[in-house]
Amino acid sequence: MSDTASKPRPQFRNIHVTDLMRYRLPMAGKVSIMHRISGAALFLALPLLIALFAMSFSSEAGFASMSTVTGHPLMKLILLGLIWGYLHHFCAGIRYLVLDLHIGIDKESAAKSASAVLGASLALTVVFGLKLFGVW
């Protein structure tokens, strides 16, 4: 028999749903998840957006009713969420196109570009939100 000590084998345990809250994703992981969520939200909101678009082009009365619907504060919050979803999906999509070109794939650059995507999408959302709520 050999006198070498055997290394303990790694243990892989099943995770529980409550364990998910303890995991800390890097910024790139968070941006990736938000990219997927924003894409799904935009896809699911297509019927609403198409209905509003069709209503606005049907007649003058249709445009007035669409203006009334979109003037409600709750609808403005929904539209603000969709604006953020579009802007985030757009900015993250550009980031992923650049990553596909093998530019900025190291850990530090990926973290910086993920933070830049999040900051740019939130800043653009604030600008468009101010316009939506009538500040300008």
| pLDDT tens readout for residues 25-84 | 899 999 999 999 999 999 999 999 999 999 999 999 999 999 999 999 999 999 999 999
Residue 6, number of CB atoms within 10 A of its CB: 6
Res 133: pLDDT? 93
Task: Estimate the crossing angle of helix 73-100 against helix 27-44, to 10 degrees.
Answer: 130
Q: Report how far residue 11's alpha carbon sits from residue 43's, in angstroms, rounded to the nearest whole number.
A: 41
Share of the chain above pLDDT 70, in %: 97
The CATH number corresponding to 26-132 among 3.40.50.12240, 3.30.365.10, 3.30.450.20, 1.20.1300.10 equals 1.20.1300.10
Q: What are the structure tokens assigned to 116, written together?
A: 């830049």
pLDDT bracket for residue 6 (50, 70, 90):
confident
pLDDT at position 16: 79
Residue 12: per-residue pLDDT: 74
Looking at the chain, the whole-number percentage of residues with pLDDT higher than 90 is 79
Taking only the tens place, the pLDDT of each residue in 80-126 is: 999 999 999 999 999 999 999 999 999 999 999 999 999 999 999 99
Where are the chain's structural domains?
26-132
Cβ atoms of residues 113 and 104 within 8 Å:
yes
Report which DSSP code applies to 30: H
